[in-house]
Amino acid sequence: MKITSAVAISSMQGSINRLTNVFKKMMMTPLDTVAMKQDEALQVLQTRDADSLNCMQIRKIIDIFTVNPASMTTYIALGNDEIQQDWLHGLQMLGDWDDELRPVGPSST
């Protein structure tokens, strides 16, 4: 089997591209990583979860992500939509907020 120079060059280019990507990831500062996670979290929040949250809730979640990057990382890591929604409405995120939005009186029980 004879390898042509075009195939060899193409294969080498793929390897060079992969090495470049690995090098870029290794050279990223932690701030770059946080910024990338913020971008991803905000994108998901505004697309996938936008239908189940009102604007005030989204703003509260953004404020929480700004103060507590660990909550943002957790949000991104939750791959199951149902679990993610449950987590968003849990005590750490919107639990108190959801209680404030529930109507008060006999019909709320």
Q: What is the C-alpha separation between 9 and 97, in angstroms, rounded? A: 58
Q: Average pLDDT of the chain?
A: 76
pLDDT value of residue 92: 61
* Pair of tokens at residue 73: 């990382």
Tell me the average pLDDT across 75-101. Answer: 74
pLDDT for the residue numbered 42: 86
**Alpha-carbon distance 97 to 83, whole Å?**
19
For 30-67, the pLDDT digits (tens) are 666 778 888 888 888 888 888 888 888 888 888 888 88
Contact 96, 103 (CB under 8 A): no
How many Å is the Cα radius of gyration of the chain? 22
